Amino acid sequence: MNAQIGMDINERARRALTRVPPSIRVTDEMVADVADALRGAIRAAYQNAAVIAASRTHAGDSLEDSRARQAEAQELARTYEKLANESR
């Protein structure tokens, strides 16, 4: 995963945990767990987008147009899968 994105996720996790009552000490492990949950949610969203892109149908288009759109959808699905893998 891109280092900048990783830092952003950790910072978002740290900010999310500022809402925890002051009586509870926020540890680095808690921040890591929240950041991991955020990465998991991002990965799941990319995987879902890949499935949606790959399952598109183009009824009513000519065969040539349909094939072109299907190729675009497959490329988009591959891009989403790559992003999902990078977010691990």
The stretch 73-78 carries a mean pLDDT of 85
Q: Indicate the DSSP class of residue 24.
A: S
pLDDT at 57: 66
Nearest by Cα to 77 from 52, 45, 42: 52
- Provide the token pair at 32: 């890591």
pLDDT at 63: 78
State pLDDT tens for residues 12-53.
Answer: 888 888 888 889 888 889 888 888 888 888 888 888 888 888
Rounded to an integer, what distance in angstroms lies between the CA atom of residue 50 and that of residue 79?
8
Q: Indicate the DSSP class of residue 61.
A: S
User: In this structure, is the dihedral angle defined by the CA atoms of residues 80, 52, 54 and 57, taken in order, positive or negative?
Assistant: negative
pLDDT at 41: 86
Residues 6+ apart with CB under 8 A from 66: 58
Place of tokens 């955020």: 38
Tell whether the model's pLDDT for residue 3 goes beyond 60: no
